[in-house]
Amino acid sequence: MHRASPALLVLAALLTGSMVTAVPAAADESPSPTPITASPAASPSASASPSPEPTSSAAPSSDGPVSVNVVMAAQTAPGAPSLVPPRAQLPLRRGHYGYRVARVQERLDWLGYDIDASNISRQAYGGSTVAAVKAFQTKNWLTPTGVADRRTWTMLARMAEPLGILPLRCTEVKQSLCIDKTTRTLRYVVNGKAKMTTDARFGASGMETGEGLFTIKEKSFDHVSSLYHSWMPRAMFFNGDEAVHYSPDFASVGYSRGSHGCVGIRDMDIATALFEKVAVGTRVYVYWS
């Protein structure tokens, strides 16, 4: 019997090692160390085996969330559509979304501005949000851009906070008119909840609207002032000659002028709805917040 030479033994070991296939570990076992195989230069059979095609580590999994980095990378291709809306950071404008937009919408809603339910549900800075921001800016002598810049954000916070909280004088009775001279709003409150909120205008300098606790004494559907001969439809008197009523002048020129002491409402439909709901004897609370 012939003994194999050392050189032949080495060659056989190399050839045998190149053919070994690793068996995958069971799911509950720790994977075995990667077996050491011969390099292509040392093993003809290894060089003949096709290598698996490389897989991009950036590709998102079909059953998991898409990475923002992946989406942003996809956007960088020339002509690629925008897949990620702009980040909601100040200044906020049309097309933005997120929790800061939602905060603006909550504050505007509390102050009586109308915003579409679709804007609110998606936290989206859409057309109705732009219109509400413009109206708020106009009311508060800011430039009406519809963009929530730092100054608008700060004033909204000051006017609306604490969000959803009414004075005790407005909530301790079943029904009240809660009239805030700081935010220039009138709220119709039932069982402690604001059911209707609208803009309000007060007396001009020297004829300021009285502050404090009152009640509705008298109502007049199509009233004309005996003192100033001005039309005061849907008038609800609460403090002498002072009444809550629709004001054509308020509807026409806004806050550039004031009343003779009455609380003016610039929307006839709202004034009519309030007139129908508010009974004689209803509490009226006029205050600075």
Helical segments of the chain, H only: 6-18, 44-48, 68-75, 99-110, 117-121, 127-139, 150-160, 168-171, 248-253, 268-277
Q: What length does the chain have?
A: 289
Task: Name the CATH topology of 99-160.
Answer: Muramoyl-pentapeptide Carboxypeptidase; domain 1 (1.10.101)
Alpha-carbon distances, residue 281 vs 2, 81, 203, 271 (angstroms)? 123, 61, 23, 18
User: Per-domain residue ranges for the chain?
Assistant: 99-160, 168-287
| pLDDT tens for the chain, residues 1 to 289 | 445 555 544 444 444 444 444 444 443 334 444 444 444 444 444 444 444 444 434 433 333 333 334 334 444 455 555 555 666 789 999 999 999 999 999 999 999 999 999 999 999 999 999 999 999 999 999 999 999 999 999 999 999 999 999 999 999 999 999 999 999 999 999 999 999 999 999 999 999 999 999 999 999 999 999 999 999 999 999 999 999 999 999 999 999 999 999 999 999 999 999 999 999 999 999 999 9
Burial of residue 232 (CB within 10 Å: 0-12, 13-18, 19+) is: buried
Does residue 258 contact residue 203 with C-beta atoms inside 8 Å?
Answer: yes
Strands of 212-215's sheet in order across = 193-199, 185-190, 175-180, 283-287, 212-215
Structure tokens at 153: 């954000």
Nearest by Cα to 112 from 188, 226, 16:
188
Q: pTM of the full predicted structure? A: 0.70
* Residues contacting residue 287 through CB under 8 Å, at least 6 positions apart: 167, 169, 179, 180, 181, 211, 212
Distance, CA of 235 to CA of 219 (rounded, Å): 6
Distance, CA of 280 to CA of 226 (rounded, Å): 21
What secondary structure letter does DSSP report for 256? G
Structure tokens at 185: 């709003």
What pLDDT digit, counting tens, does each position of 30-43 carry? 444 444 444 444 44
Task: Name the CATH topology of 168-287.
Answer: L,D-transpeptidase catalytic domain-like (2.40.440)
Nearest by Cα to 130 from 98, 151, 108:
108
Does residue 170 contact residue 110 with C-beta atoms inside 8 Å?
Answer: no
* β-sheet bridge partners, residue 237: 218, 243
Alpha-carbon distances, residue 73 vs 82, 88, 126 (angstroms)? 11, 20, 27
Q: What is the predicted pLDDT for the residue at 69? A: 41
H or E element: which one contains 287? strand 283-287
> Which amino acid is present at 34?
T
Strands of 231-239's sheet in order across = 218-224, 231-239, 242-246, 263-265
> Which amino acid is present at 71?
V
Q: What is the predicted pLDDT for the residue at 27? A: 39
What pLDDT digit, counting tens, does each position of 171-211 carry? 999 999 999 999 999 999 999 999 999 999 999 999 999 99
Structure tokens at 16: 């045998």
